[in-house]
Amino acid sequence: MSDSEVAVHNPALRHHFAEVEQQRNASSLGMWLFLVTEIMFFGGMFCAYLVYRTAHFGDFAAASSTLDLKLGAINTAVLILSSLTVVMAVWTAQTGKQKALVMYLLLTIVLGVAFLGIKGVEYAEKFENHHVPGPTFHFAGAIPGHPDHPADPRHAQIFFSLYFAMTGMHAVHMIIGIGLFAFLAFKAWRGAYTPAYFTPIENAGLYWHFVDIVWIYLFPLLYLIDRHK
């Protein structure tokens, strides 16, 4: 290391790292390893979904067709837009635009809350129609393409159990993400992040994009089964 590099010592560099790049790589790798555990966590639910959908395809299609496709599609758009605001937050941190950084973080929170609000409307509709698994569960739909063939309510209940488990866990991740961004927005407003140090913004961004990817798979798997019939 030359003298000139020592002179511009980064205040964010912790003593147990040799240089800023090593520190940043370590936290980035750590974040990705956490996301790997998240992939396997959601993977278990996707696996259960795959097994039951294969076994009871017609009943799953009947239950899926009761979901509100318009609200699901709007929520997909809201979440994708929030991914754009997050990536813009990272960009403003990289380029040192502090006010814009705070704005993009707050915008992400607004979009996250909008997503949860729309999800809440959908959940309320499930309660009204007794599509929530449990003693009051009731389902009387027919298998798409076979109007004389009613779907088995027990299998439809499995679909709704998976629906609530998967979208519920996804929503929990969104709530945690919103909390995370509120904290980061406060820190960013206080000027904690500079082009020389913005690792928390970067890692929270990775988390948010991961949650977005989970929804990118949930949307077609839950809302788009046999819609053409």
Partner 1 sequence: MAEHISSPRFYVVIWLSLMVLTVVTVVAAQIDLGPFNTIVALTIASLKAVLVGLFFMHVKYAHERMIKPVIAAALFFLFLLLSLSMADYSTRLWS
Based on CB atoms, which residue is closest to partner 1, 29 or 172? 29
Residue 68 or 132 with smaller CB distance to partner 1 = 68
Q: Which of residues 33 and 140 has its CB atom nearest to partner 1 in the complex?
A: 33
Residue 37 CB, nearest distance to partner 1 (Å)? 9
When the beta carbons of 132 and 142 are compared against partner 1, the nearer one is 142
Whose Cβ is closer to partner 1: residue 145's or residue 190's?
A: 145
Cβ at position 62, least distance to partner 1 in Å: 15
Q: Would you call 19 helix, strand, or coil by DSSP?
A: coil
- Taking the complex as a whole, the smallest distance from the CB of residue 212 to partner 1 amounts, in Å, to 6
Distance of CA 62 to the CA centre of its chain: 26
Closest CA to 126 of 156, 96, 100, 90: 156
**Closest approach of Cβ 120 to partner 1, in Å?**
21
Nearest to 52 by CA among 199, 166, 179, 149: 166
DSSP 8-state assignment for residue 7 = H
Distances (CA, A) of 213 to 60, 62, 110, 130, 144: 22, 25, 19, 30, 28
Cα–Cα distance measured from residue 150 to residue 144, given in angstroms and rounded to the nearest whole number: 9
Positions touching partner 1 (CB under 8 A) are: 20-21, 24-26, 28-29, 32-33, 35-36, 39-40, 43-44, 46-47, 50-51, 54-55, 69, 73, 76-77, 80-81, 83-84, 86-88, 91, 94-95, 205-206, 209-210, 212-213, 216-217, 219-221, 224, 226-229
Minimum CB–partner distance for residue 36 and partner 1 (Å):
4
Q: What separation, in Å, do the N-terminal and C-terminal C-alpha atoms of the chain show?
A: 68
